[in-house]
Amino acid sequence: MTKILAAALAALTLTAPAMASPDVDADTAAKVREKLTAEGYEVRRIDNEDGMIEVYALKDGARLELYLDAELNVVRSKTDD
């Protein structure tokens, strides 16, 4: 039983870094924050997901997930319940 558990934990440890998305560089994050703040958003978090910049933000009391392309254009948004 302990060998199975140890093997499962080892497998999870080895695959976890492959699933993690790289961080957005500081310069890009600053540009995203500046652009969205000027548009009335309160930026909470900036990540990379599926080749796009993912931003968690608030606007008019609503929690939003915004997806930006490389040119920092919002290409998709959804309400974060």
Where do runs of H (alpha helix) occur along the chain?
A: 2-19, 26-38
Name every residue whose Cβ is closer than 8 Å to that of residue 75 and which is 6 or more positions away in sequence: 52, 67, 68, 69
- Residues 31-59 have pLDDT tens digits of 999 999 999 999 999 999 989 999 999 99
Say what the pTM is. Answer: 0.69
Distance CA(63)–CA(3), nearest Å, equals: 44
**Domains of the chain, first to last:** 23-79 (3.10.450)
Q: Counting beta carbons within 10 angstroms of the beta carbon of residue 33, is it exposed (0 to 12), middle (13 to 18) or buried (19 or more)? A: middle
The residue with tokens 């560089």 is: 25
* pLDDT computed for residue 48 by the predictor: 95
Closest by CA to 24, choosing from 62, 72, 78, 76, is: 72
